[in-house]
Chains A and B, each alone.
Chain A
Amino acid sequence: MTQLDTPARSLIMERDFPHPPEKVWRALTESSLIEQWLLENDFQPIVGRSFSLRREPMANWNGVIDCRVLAVEPCRSVSYTWNASGSEWVVTWVLTPTAAGTHLRMEQSGFHPDQEQNYKGAKYGWQKFIGSLERVVAGL
Chain B
Amino acid sequence: MPSAADSLFKALADPTRRAIFERLTRNGEQTVHALTACAGVSQPMVSKHLGALRRARLVRHRHQGRETHYQVRPEALAPLVDWVSHYADFWQNKFDRLEEVLERLEDTHQRSDK
10 A-B pairs closest in CB distance? A125-B13, A37-B97, A1-B19, A126-B9, A126-B12, A37-B98, A122-B13, A37-B101, A126-B13, A36-B101
Question: For chain A, which range describes its interface: under 10, 10 to 19, 20 to 34, or 35 or more residues?
Answer: 35 or more
| Chain A hits for B95, CB < 8 A | 13, 15, 104, 106
Interface residues of B in 1-60 (CB under 8 A from A): 8-10, 12-16, 18-20, 22-23, 25, 38-40
Q: Which residues does chain B contribute within 8 Å of A90, judged by CB atoms?
A: none
Residues 76-114 of B contacting A (Cβ, < 8 Å): 77, 80-81, 83-84, 87-88, 91-92, 94-95, 97-102, 105-106, 109
- The prevalent SS among residues of B at the interface is helix
Does the CB pair B83–A140 fall under 8 Å?
Answer: no
Cross-chain pairs A/B with CB under 8 angstroms, 24 sampled: A1-B19, A1-B20, A1-B23, A4-B19, A13-B91, A13-B95, A27-B98, A37-B97, A37-B100, A104-B95, A122-B10, A123-B9, A123-B13, A124-B13, A126-B9, A126-B10, A126-B80, A130-B80, A130-B83, A130-B84, A136-B22, A137-B77, A139-B74, A140-B75
Measured between beta carbons, the chain B residues less than 8 angstroms from A133 are 77, 80-81, 84
**Docked complex Cα distance between A36 and B99 (Å):** 11
> A129 within 8 Å of B by Cβ?
yes
- Contact of B40 with A19 in the complex, beta carbons under 8 Å: no
What residues of chain B lie closer than 8 Å to A122, measured between beta carbons? 10, 13-14
Number of A-B contacts (CB under 8 A): 96
Report how many residues on chain B are interfacial, defined by Cβ distance under 8 Å.
39
User: Which single residue of chain A is at the shortest CB-CB distance from B75?
Assistant: A140
Please state if B22 and A33 are interface contacts (CB–CB under 8 Å): no
User: Would A27 and B101 count as touching, CB distance under 8 A?
Assistant: yes
Q: Are A108 and B18 in contact (CB under 8 A)?
A: no
